[in-house]
Structure 1
Amino acid sequence: MKIKKQHRKKKYLHKLNRKRMHIKQKSTGEVNCKPIKDAWDFKKSSLRNMKEMGLANDPNKVIKIPNFKQEKVRQAKKIVNQEDSDSDIEEEEVLPVPKKEVVEILEKEARARRARKFMLPKPQVEFITYLLDKYGHDYKAMAKDKKNYYQETWKQLRAKVKTFMGIPKQYSEYLASKGLLDKEEDEEELKKLAKALIMDDDD
């Protein structure tokens, strides 16, 4: 007796836009990198585009990872054929990718200094500013404070204060609220001030 195949009943889903779904599935995504996006030619293949920009389409072909098995096979063939060490099997040389304008722009962007986006959470800022207001830079007194719930050592609290002082945006707001800094003061001056305070604490 043959077992009948059970076919799931196909349902037409009205909420799905088949055309839009097909386009989304076919799409490989947008290029977010502006230099590559500007230089991209949609009439050419991705391989050709990358090659003309001076970029590698497949990094594994440009930077080869040594293969233990292939190396042992090469050595075995060398012993079997009784070849001299000078007449090794020629390996395919990968030519360096020529540097183009896009590569130079990308390298320049990679070397450029980025703004620090790290920010401390609000509760932590409130705790640090509370300690600074009450004890100044007396870290040993901070460690004995009743609000030090996690029993952090004076060195741990000092590290937290230094981190806070190293964030110009949050530290400038604190200094401005105390009337110690003009809001329009240059960020570089603030960094120098924070560095000087940190150096004083180390002493």
Structure 2
Amino acid sequence: MKDMGLSSDPNAMDVSEDVEGEPTKKHVVKALEDEASQPTRKTLRMSGDNVKFCVYMMEKYGEDYKAMAKDSKNYYQDTPAQIRQKIKTLKKIPEQWNGYLRAKQMCEES
């Protein structure tokens, strides 16, 4: 059975080579470790549908979240607190919030 590479007791097998070895390219390992240790930048984005929903609700109701919850376009039947959180999240995303403000300002000037 030993000729076939089998043994009756798997714990009794000899390990002929050293599993733990020194890395051959230490500079590559160091570069990868340095890159992995860098914090990643979080990007927060909302889907286009959520942005449209929030813009529609803010344009129609302002800050009246209870009325927003009763609106027919509230397809997912979000509660007033959930709608408030969506709008708060939109305001935290500079690219999307500033785009909304610019579009609103252009409409008011026309």
* TM-score bin (small chain): 0.5 to 0.7
The answer for the alignment partner of 1:129 in structure 2 is: 55
Cα distance in 2 for residues equivalent to 1:106 and 1:73: 36
SS at match of 1:175: helix
Say whether residues 1:167 and 2:87 are aligned partners: no
How far did residue 131 of structure 1 move? 1.2
2:67 paired with 1:141: yes
Aligned pairs (5 A) from 1:91-106: 92-97=18-23, 100-106=26-32
Aligned AA (1:120):
S
Write the deviation string for residues 58-104 of structure 1: whole angstroms up to 9, x where unpaired.
xxxxxxxxxxxxxx732xx4xxxxxxxxxxx7794413536733334
User: Unpaired segments of 5 or more residues in structure 1?
Assistant: 1-71, 78-88, 180-203
Identity value in percent: 44
More helix by percentage = 2
The structure with the largest alpha-carbon Rg is 1
Quote the residue 1:116 is aligned against. 43
Q: Which has the higher contact order (CA 8 A, sep 6+)?
A: 2
How far does residue 124 in structure 1 lie from its aligned partner after superposition?
Answer: 2.7
Cα distance, 1:128 vs structure 2? 0.7
RMSD: 3.4
Q: Distance in 1 between matches of 2:71 and 2:96?
A: 23
Which consecutive unaligned segments of at least 5 residues does structure 2 have?
A: 1-8, 106-110
1:73 aligned to which of 1, 4, 10: 10
Name the structure 2 match of 1:152: 78
> How much does 1:117 deviate?
6.7
Q: Deviations over 1:25-62 (max 9, x none)?
A: xxxxxxxxxxxxxxxxxxxxxxxxxxxxxxxxxxxxxx
Deviation at 1:169, TM superposition (A): 1.0
How much does 1:133 deviate? 2.5
> Within 2, Cα distance between the matches of 1:112 and 1:134?
40
Contact map agreement 1:142 1:154 (CA 8 A) in 2 = yes
**Matches of 1:116 and 1:90 in 2, distance apart?**
48
